[in-house]
């Protein structure tokens, strides 16, 4: 394993601590931040919020983008836009960051966990189809879970580590069963499936710009949609449902203070300008890692799945078993190379242990074997 440590240190040209993923600010970030400060518009009103939304929508091929304070807020509002209400059910995957399930819980809805595919690590269309056929019926154009008699309003797949799940196939199933498709695209900015950007297949998509994402504003998120009515409602709900007026404060429903500040948006405008270069850099890193791990019989580098062009946000490897995984984690972290296991399955957390689960063989297999390795954009000499 020392060879792996030496290789990663050579990639990042340091023998000091190497984090899993750190941001890079090498463009117009300071220029735009200073301009934002000089304008005095540092909160949720300002030209950079509008400019970022316009540029982001154009970048991914969506008609509308609504900036939010973080990715979880974007997911929360997306579920509301899809008319998910208390006691409804939402199908998702157990192998995900907890924000996916937290957003479902904020509404008082309940998660249903179906398995993931081994190659994508994202929600499996086959598992989804099998669950629906075995447990559901269509009644009055509504999908009913016959086991609970509750309405299944939405399906919320997540594109794991920037690798697209089989989102087109998932969409076909959701359309057949009258289930709204919402994409958790938090990790997949710059990722395409069959030449179409993730986050744009469903009714709504949500992205994150947390400090460890491929571009960042420290926090931040965005909702995307092609539906003008949903876009306007998203903006209304994220700005405390304030009725437009030059000076009066009138609010027409309970809503949220989820609008992205102009300061954060200034950072994102600059970061978005560098996105193509970041992705090129990370895809080059993936090639180097693949070459390294080809020499290891019991370590497989996780490549982009079929039909996907991935951003390789977090590079990942698959170990042969839990024992080898833990040994890898222990050795690399002691050497100052930050590595991390994949998330604990959501259904194994006390918070969600009473949620319905299909057979989760693939998710359990991956949970015991997948490790993330340093994935930051490298400064080329």
**Per the domain annotation, does 377 fall within a domain?**
no
Last residue in a domain, options 229, 257, 273: 273
Pairing of strands 142-145, 150-156: antiparallel
**Per the domain annotation, does 43 fall within a domain?**
yes
Last residue in a domain, options 273, 292, 316: 273
**Per the domain annotation, does 354 fall within a domain?**
yes
Please check whether residues 178 and 190 belong to one and the same domain.
yes
Three-class DSSP category at 172? helix
Phi/psi at 155 (5° precision): -125, 130
Please check whether residues 230 and 322 belong to one and the same domain.
no
For residue 367, the domain's CATH number is 3.90.1150.10
Please check whether residues 13 and 79 belong to one and the same domain.
no
Please check whether residues 103 and 224 belong to one and the same domain.
yes
SS3 track for 119-131: CCCCECHHHHHHH
pLDDT at 229: 98
**Per the domain annotation, does 151 fall within a domain?**
yes
Please check whether residues 244 and 166 belong to one and the same domain.
yes
pLDDT by position in tens, the chain (length 381): 899 999 999 999 999 999 999 999 999 999 999 999 999 999 888 999 999 999 999 999 999 999 999 999 999 999 999 999 999 999 999 999 999 999 999 999 999 999 999 999 999 999 999 999 999 999 999 999 999 999 999 999 999 999 999 999 999 999 999 999 999 999 999 999 999 999 999 999 999 999 999 999 999 999 999 999 999 999 999 999 999 898 999 999 999 999 999 999 999 999 999 999 999 999 999 999 999 999 999 999 999 999 999 999 999 999 999 999 999 999 999 999 999 999 999 999 999 999 999 999 999 999 999 999 999 999 754
The DSSP secondary-structure symbol of 310 reads -
pLDDT at 379: 73
Give the span between the Cα atoms of 130 and 89, in whole angstroms. 17
**Per the domain annotation, does 380 fall within a domain?**
no
Q: Token digits for 45?
A: 């009103």
**Per the domain annotation, does 214 fall within a domain?**
yes
CB 68 within 8 A of CB 133: no
**Per the domain annotation, does 378 fall within a domain?**
no
**Domains contained in the chain, number:** 2
Please check whether residues 258 and 351 belong to one and the same domain.
no
Please check whether residues 118 and 247 belong to one and the same domain.
yes
CB 244 within 8 A of CB 53: no
Please check whether residues 61 and 207 belong to one and the same domain.
yes
Please check whether residues 255 and 317 belong to one and the same domain.
no
CB 183 within 8 A of CB 199: yes
CB 122 within 8 A of CB 163: yes
For residue 119, the domain's CATH number is 3.40.640.10
Please check whether residues 181 and 285 belong to one and the same domain.
no
Give the span between the Cα atoms of 118 and 294, in whole angstroms. 19
* Segments forming the whole domain that contains residue 300: 2-24+275-372
**Per the domain annotation, does 379 fall within a domain?**
no
Last residue in a domain, options 243, 273, 303: 273
Distance of CA 43 to the CA centre of its chain: 25
Give the span between the Cα atoms of 90 and 188, in whole angstroms. 21
Conformation bin of residue 201: beta by default, left when phi > 0, alpha when psi is -120 to 50 = alpha
Residues recorded for the chain = 381
Please check whether residues 10 and 100 belong to one and the same domain.
no
Please check whether residues 222 and 322 belong to one and the same domain.
no
């Amino acid at each position: 394993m020392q060879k792996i440590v030496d290789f990663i240190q050579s990639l990042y040209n340091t023998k000091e601590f190497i984090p899993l993923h750190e941001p890079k600010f090498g463009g117009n970030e300071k220029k735009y931040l200073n301009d934002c400060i000089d304008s005095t518009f540092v909160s949720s009103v300002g030209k950079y919020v509008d400019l970022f939304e316009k540029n982001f929508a154009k970048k991914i091929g969506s008609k509308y983008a609504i900036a939010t304070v973080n990715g979880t807020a974007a997911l929360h509002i997306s579920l509301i836009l899809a008319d998910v209400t208390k006691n409804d059910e939402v199908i998702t995957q157990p192998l995900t960051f907890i924000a996916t399930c937290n957003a479902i819980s904020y509404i008082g809805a309940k998660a249903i966990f179906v398995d993931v595919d081994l190659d994508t690590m994202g929600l499996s269309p086959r598992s989804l189809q099998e669950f629906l056929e075995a447990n559901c019926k269509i009644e009055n154009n509504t999908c009913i879970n016959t086991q609970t008699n509750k309405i299944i309003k939405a399906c919320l797949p997540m594109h794991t580590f920037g690798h697209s799940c089989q989102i087109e196939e998932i969409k076909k199933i959701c359309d057949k069963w009258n289930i709204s498709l919402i994409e958790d695209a938090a990790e997949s900015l710059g990722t395409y499936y069959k030449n179409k950007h993730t986050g744009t297949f469903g009714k709504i998509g949500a992205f994150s710009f947390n400090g460890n994402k491929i571009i960042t504003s420290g926090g931040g998120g965005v909702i995307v949609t092609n539906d003008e009515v949903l876009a306007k409602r998203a903006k209304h709900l994220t700005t405390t449902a304030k009725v437009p007026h030059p000076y009066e404060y009138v609010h027409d429903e309970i809503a949220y203070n989820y609008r992205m500040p102009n300061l954060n948006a200034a950072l994102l405008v600059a970061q978005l300008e560098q996105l193509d270069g970041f992705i090129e850099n990370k895809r080059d890193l993936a090639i180097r890692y693949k070459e390294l791990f080809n020499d290891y019989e019991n370590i497989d580098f996780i490549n982009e799945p079929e039909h996907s062009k991935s951003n390789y946000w977090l590079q990942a490897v698959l170990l042969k078993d839990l024992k080898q995984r833990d040994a890898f984690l222990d050795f690399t972290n002691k050497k100052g190379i930050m590595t991390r296991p994949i998330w604990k399955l959501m259904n194994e957390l006390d918070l969600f242990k009473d949620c319905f689960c299909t057979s989760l063989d693939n998710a359990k297999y991956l949970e015991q074997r997948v490790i993330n390795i340093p994935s930051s954009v490298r400064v080329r000499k």
